[in-house]
Amino acid sequence: MTVHHIKRKFLAGVLLVFALLGWSVNIDDTAAAAKSKYAVQLGNATVPQNEILNEHGMILVPLSTITGSMGLDMSYAFQPGLYDYHVYAIPQKTKTVEVWGNDYRGYWVSTHPNGKEEYEDYTHVYQPDQDCAPNSDVCRVLKKSYRGPIIRDGQLYVQVRWVAQAFDWNLTIIPHGKGQFVIKITSNTEGS
């Protein structure tokens, strides 16, 4: 190899490193800008920025943050079966709000009247699209169209709009500075 070839390979390597570093900085800057575009206020509590996700244009926060900020009790149950399900239930005066599912079939956001837990008693605020074998319960979530709750860093994140709808809460989006928005969620009936 000549000195000219070594210089050219070295220069190409240096340019590649600069391009990759510059590209990753831009990605981080874009993610930070998208993340800080929204603030979420639950009742009188503001959700920390590091707990807000923007996925496919939908704002998600941990379910535990929502229940804690709004003073709600939440239970968790693991239901083994053909597919193991995780069920997070938040009881209210007349109904229970549930976020349930798994990574294979996706997660639902549903409500049902207290004391009635048959499938036909459920109202689904969000139900994932499924690909099912004919005449079977063997299904999997369609990942391309899935916009439901997700597990991130060991926490269940849910869309604030769907939680507000499930609880019959008020959701208001308030402009707050240039390109900034506050998503404010308030309970219009305590313990509905």
Taking only the tens place, the pLDDT of each residue in 62-90 is 999 999 999 999 999 999 988 899 999 99
Amino acid at 166: A
CA-CA distance, 63 to 158, in Å (whole number)?
6
Q: What is the pLDDT of residue 49?
A: 95
126 and 109 in contact (C-beta within 8 Å)?
yes
| Choice between 30 and 96, residue whose per-residue pLDDT is larger | 96
pTM score, whole prediction: 0.77
Residue 6 has a pLDDT of 53
Question: How many C-beta atoms surround the C-beta of residue 140 within 10 A?
Answer: 15
**Does the pLDDT of residue 165 top 80, yes or no?**
yes
**Residue carrying structure tokens 């008020």:** 170
pLDDT of 180:
92
Lowest average pLDDT, out of 3-12, 90-99, 149-158, 164-173, goes to: 3-12
Q: Mean pLDDT in the chain?
A: 85
> What is the mean pLDDT of the segment spanning 119-140?
93
* Residues 96 and 112: beta-carbon distance below 8 Å: yes
Beta-bridge partners for 184: 41, 172
CA max distance for the chain: 82
More confident: 178 or 146? 146
Q: What is the pLDDT of residues 24-57, one digit of tens each?
A: 333 343 444 444 699 999 999 999 999 999 999 9
Has residue 22 got a pLDDT over 50? no
DSSP secondary structure of the chain: --HHHHHHHHHHHHHHHHHHHHHHHHHHHHHHHHHHTEEEEETTEEPPGGG-EEETTEEEEEHHHHHHHTT---EEEEE-SSS-EEEEEEE-SSEEEEEEEETTTEEEEEEEETT--SGGG-EEEE---EEE-TTSS-EEE-TTT--S-EEETTEEEEEHHHHHHHHT-EEEEEE-STT-EEEEEE-SSTT-
Greater pLDDT, 65 or 189 = 65
C-alpha 43 chain-centroid distance: 19
Task: Using pLDDT thresholds of 50, 70 and 90, give the confidence band for residue 8.
Answer: low
